[in-house]
Amino acid sequence: MAAHGQHVVSEGLGTSEDTMRAVVHERYGGAEVLQLARVPRPEVSDRAVLVQVHAAGLDRGVWHVMRGLPYAARLAFGLRRPKHPVLGFDVAGTVIAVGRSVTRFAEGDEVYGFGEGTFAEYATVPEGNLARKPTNLSFERSAIVPVSAVTALKGLRSAGKLRAGQHVLITGASGGVGSYAVQLAKALGAEVTAVASTTKLELVRSLGADHVLDYTYEDFADGARHYDLILDIAGSPSIARLRRALTPNGTAVIAGGEDGGKLTGMSRQLSALAISPFARQRLTSFVGSVRTVDLEQLTAYIEAGTVTPSLDRTYPLEQTADAMRRLDAGEVRGKVAITI
């Protein structure tokens, strides 16, 4: 079975120079499909670095790969079974080898970024998806930054074109993307209303939200307030509800939503695309990618103390399935990190 060209070699966990411990899945399903196994250590390619992983971030992207959902994504993940059994994308660790064409990193550098197969002792990461780790953060906190914080930044700034003084509504504000979105929207000068469930309202307040809405009994689209920008991360509100909550020239950016349909997961995004040309309001969506330049911008916010990653808790590699169960149960506040 291939894991970036690798095979699961053994489920026994003895040691060997050219193998490593990793969390793998050989079929799609819930947390029960995750196993600790030994796989070959990855080899560093020309434009990548080999990172000794100290911590890896768990996010919804990993959940999608584990579940093989939405089904259309199996074209990329593997039709019948996972093509890349080692899970994990976000990483923080130490560079231990660099590819021949790599110019910006050297052995010993402490880095964070977006690779593949990071729930493992070693992972390769393309040079272009990597940056030096913020000096004021632990590896655990650095590892929960890349995909979630970049998504929040792109959703607000690139897709949402947020300007200082605007009023922004953020759904899913207590989660991975949302916990960064609240802080970044404040840093960009917005007035922020954060939507979360009852037990997480305190968290989103502490992140700087000016107003909070408890979606278990309050409706952001009840007409009481209108927003210049909605960053829609969770809850899958209909396009009609998003439009009702917008100002006449407002923008809705659909960043996520697990109920977007199991086939493509994109039904609301496609509706937004179809309606937007005929509406005064702008309805859009995006898929983010993590690049060095994005990470460096986040490093600046983090080192200035403007953004602090919300670390819910950490789990050792062998308890990754428990971390996934916590995410599945909706208990995570911010994000969890896997430590290696």
Ligand X SMILES: NC(=O)c1ccc[n+]([C@@H]2O[C@H](COP(=O)([O-])OP(=O)(O)OC[C@H]3O[C@@H](n4cnc5c(N)ncnc54)[C@H](OP(=O)(O)O)[C@@H]3O)[C@@H](O)[C@H]2O)c1
Q: Which residues of this chain interact with ligand X, rule CB under 6 A?
A: 59-61, 147-148, 151, 171-172, 174-178, 195-197, 200, 215, 233-235, 255-258, 286-288, 330, 332
| Nearest residue to ligand X, by Cβ distance, number only | 175
Nearer of residues 49 and 169 to ligand X, judged by Cβ? 169
183, 156 in Cβ contact below 8 A? no
Nearer of residues 60 and 132 to ligand X, judged by Cβ? 60
Token pair for 135: 């000096």
Of 281, 46, 286, 40, residue with least CA distance to 159 = 286
Pairing between strand 167-170 and 227-232? Answer: parallel
154, 146 in Cβ contact below 8 A? no
Nearer of residues 25 and 41 to ligand X, judged by Cβ? 25
Strands of the sheet with 211-214, listed across from one edge: 211-214, 191-196, 167-170, 227-232, 246-254, 282-285
CB of residue 186 vs ligand X: minimum separation in angstroms? 17
Q: Position 72: which residue type? A: A
| CA gap 338, 56 in Å, rounded | 5
Token pair for 18: 């050219």
CB of residue 141 vs ligand X: minimum separation in angstroms? 16
CA angle (200 as vertex; 197, 203 as ends), nearest 5: 145
Nearer of residues 8 and 230 to ligand X, judged by Cβ? 230
CB of residue 265 vs ligand X: minimum separation in angstroms? 8
CB of residue 117 vs ligand X: minimum separation in angstroms? 18
| CA gap 35, 51 in Å, rounded | 22
Q: Is 271 exposed, middle or buried (0-12, 13-18, 19+ CB in 10 A)?
A: middle
CB of residue 326 vs ligand X: minimum separation in angstroms? 10
Nearer of residues 42 and 237 to ligand X, judged by Cβ? 237
CB of residue 178 vs ligand X: minimum separation in angstroms? 6
Nearer of residues 19 and 285 to ligand X, judged by Cβ? 285
Nearer of residues 89 and 139 to ligand X, judged by Cβ? 89
CB of residue 115 vs ligand X: minimum separation in angstroms? 16
